Amino acid sequence: QVGTQFTRGVSGGERKRTNIGMELITDPAILFLDEPTTGLDASTANAVLLLLKRMAQQGRTIIFSIHQPRYSIFKLFDNLTLLAAGRLLFHGPAQQALNYFQNIGYQCEEHNNPADFFLDVINGDSTAVTTAKGHGAEPESTEAQAEQGSSLAQKLAEQFCSSAYYQETKAALEKIPLGRQKQPRAVFRHITYTNSFLHQLQWVSRRTFKNLLGNPQASIAQVCVTAVLGLIVGAIFFGLKEDSTGLQNSLGFFLLPLALSCLSVCLCCSHESISGYYRTSVYFLSKLMADLIPIRTVPSILFTCITYFMLGLKPTPGAFFIMMFTLLMVSYTATALALAIATGQSVVAVANLLITVAFVFMIVKRFFLLSNLTLPWHKFRPLPLLSPPGLGSPPSLGSLPQPLGMLALCVLLCRGCTGDDYLRSQGIEVSPWGLWQNHLALACMTLILLTIAYLKLHFMKKFS
């Protein structure tokens, strides 16, 4: 595990080499690095530069900025570019830079690091600057030194423009064909992948699965929390009775899977395909197969196994597996809804707020405030299909054959009604198709929401 700012992982040198290795996945011809040795000890920094040197000898062009390299590292450079105040002060073979500065009047002291010497020269604070002006010169005032520092970069740039190195660089640049002055934007935004789709899917899925196993908070802890919640819920609703009270309690129980899904699916997709490591579709599918599906499947099965028998619901295998499948579909659809909302949101708080509003709307609509009979457009409702009474009730409420007495929730207020009567009063058809049409609707909603999440992930801004 590489680690983050919160978890301990590999050392600084290993992290640097890992970052370089990630950039090499796409087999680039040119590699840009920003201070690859910063924060490393001398030995580790030397090892990193030796690695870059071997890569350069294999045909790659490596361009990087570096902070105070020691002499053993400086010897590895092929070409050196010095910049100051936006001006080019030197560009040419690194081993000839000392001779160039010596020819224009700057002498490097013996045993001095060439890299430190160059920085001192371009900043105007080197003893070489005093040597160039003569040993008999009087010390200058602070104001004079500031004026000299501002004009030193311009002076060195003008001297380089009159040197042979500049003429060679200019001649080499003129030989490069410019081609078209303006290229279509799509050319620069096209990403070429070096590996096939299946190869990327295999390795990204393996990495995602390892991250899942290596993160107890996302795997083991969630299973344990689900088991504890299942025991608590089973204890609260233990042994539902076949009367009006049992019916009301069963409705309260069916609210919990939706609420628990709301608490656990507030996800936001991250994406690493900017550098062309893998396709967006590979990331999305691997996230579903190796992360989201296991996290939703195992807790739902465990929750059903714990609560179903503690509540004393219909003791038949068909009803048990129907309820398990129903909870799985509800969990998958809730996850897809959360992904469709959260994907592409740069602010996590906004994504969490939008997801919470969506789930609260469905819960309030289905359970507390609004009646089905007061909404003329209720028959066109897509979102309340997520609510468990429309899905989990048929196999369970149907197990209440005795009359339930006076029941305010039932349309038939003047006589007793069965569980089937209550389902009919809620607009739910008591038939096999009345049950499975809801599962079919959930499956369609899941596919549509996942498609929306993928499209948002695919077309989200990847380039700055």
**Structural domain spans, the chain:** 12-179, 197-459
Strand partners, 203: none
Question: pLDDT tens-digit profile of 16-45?
Answer: 778 777 777 777 888 888 888 887 788 888
**Rounded Cα–Cα distance for residues 214 and 145 (Å):** 58
Q: Which residue has the higher pLDDT, 128 or 310?
A: 310
Q: 3-class DSSP state for residue 87?
A: strand
Nearest CA to 255 among 305, 297, 307, 298? 307
Residue with tokens 């001779």: 99
CATH of 12-179, one of 1.10.150, 3.30.43, 3.30.70, 3.40.50: 3.40.50
Nearest CA to 118 among 156, 165, 148? 156
H helices within 372-431, ranges in order? 393-397, 419-425
**Rounded Cα–Cα distance for residues 439 and 442 (Å):** 5
Q: How far is CA 75 from CA 46, 80, 93, 387, in A?
A: 11, 11, 11, 69
Strand partners, 90: 82
Q: Which residue has the higher pLDDT, 339 or 272?
A: 339
- On the question of pLDDT at 448 being above 90, the answer is yes
Nearest CA to 169 among 79, 104, 106? 79
pLDDT band at 91 (very low <50, low <70, confident <90, very high): very high
Which amino acid type is present at position 280?
A: T
pLDDT band at 406 (very low <50, low <70, confident <90, very high): very low
Q: What is the pTM of this model?
A: 0.61
Paired tokens of 461: 């801004």
Paired tokens of 189: 């935004």
Strand partners, 64: 33
Residues in the chain: 464
The helix (run of H) or strand (run of E) holding residue 233 is helix 220-236
Dihedral sign for Cα atoms in the order 428, 434, 435, 439? negative
Q: What is the share, in percent, of the chain residues with pLDDT greater than 70?
A: 62
**Rounded Cα–Cα distance for residues 134 and 123 (Å):** 18
68: left (phi over 0), alpha (psi -120 to 50) or beta: left
**Rounded Cα–Cα distance for residues 101 and 103 (Å):** 5
pLDDT of residue 12: 66
Please state, as a whole number, how many other Cβ atoms lie within 10 Å of the Cβ of residue 140: 13
pLDDT (mean) for 131-148 = 51
Contact 374, 302 (CB under 8 A): no
Report the chain's mean pLDDT, rounded to a whole number.
72
Strand partners, 32: 63
**Rounded Cα–Cα distance for residues 167 and 176 (Å):** 15
Dihedral sign for Cα atoms in the order 398, 401, 406, 411? positive
Contact 82, 122 (CB under 8 A): yes
- On the question of pLDDT at 127 being above 50, the answer is yes
Q: Which of 109-113, 240-244, 279-283 has the lowest mean pLDDT?
A: 240-244
Residue with tokens 């620069």: 188
pLDDT of residue 335: 83
Residue with tokens 């950039």: 23
**Rounded Cα–Cα distance for residues 423 and 409 (Å):** 10
pLDDT band at 79 (very low <50, low <70, confident <90, very high): very high
The helix (run of H) or strand (run of E) holding residue 165 is helix 164-174
Which amino acid type is present at position 80?
A: L
The half-sphere exposure of 198 on its side-chain side, counting CA atoms within 13 A, is: 0
Q: Count Cβ neighbours within 10 Å for each residue of 239-272 and write b for 16 or more, e otherwise.
A: ebebebebbebbbebbbbbbebbbebbbbbbebe
Q: 3-class DSSP state for residue 400?
A: coil
Paired tokens of 107: 């002498």
